[in-house]
Amino acid sequence: MALPVEPARLRQEFPDLTEEDILAYVAVTKRILESAVKDRARVTREALEAGRAAREKAARGERLASEEALSMRYLAALDKVQRSTVKR
């Protein structure tokens, strides 16, 4: 399954992304795209909500499960991409 944006292009266009960011983008985006079309919006919302919850949990100093860490890294990657595309 083709990704909407290939990792090589992300690395080139968004140099602030770490390898962990890229891996999270790939894993979560594939999960979204492998969902039924009618479920993609829900799966995306759930991924973002999980990322926010994981970020809050980490801020409290709590240990994250691997799935939580993935969600948080995905959210961080999206934040970096969005932050770099905002015109000031």
64 CB neighbour count, 10 Å cutoff:
16
Read off the pLDDT of residues 51-70 as tens digits, 9 standing for 90 and up.
999 999 999 999 999 999 99
Average pLDDT over residues 38-57: 97
SS3 per-residue string spanning 31-73 = HHHHCCHHHHHHHHHHHHHHHHHHHHHHHCCCCCCHHHHHHHH
* Residues ≥6 apart with Cβ < 8 Å to 26: 3, 7
Percent of the chain whose pLDDT exceeds 70:
94
Single pTM value for the model: 0.87
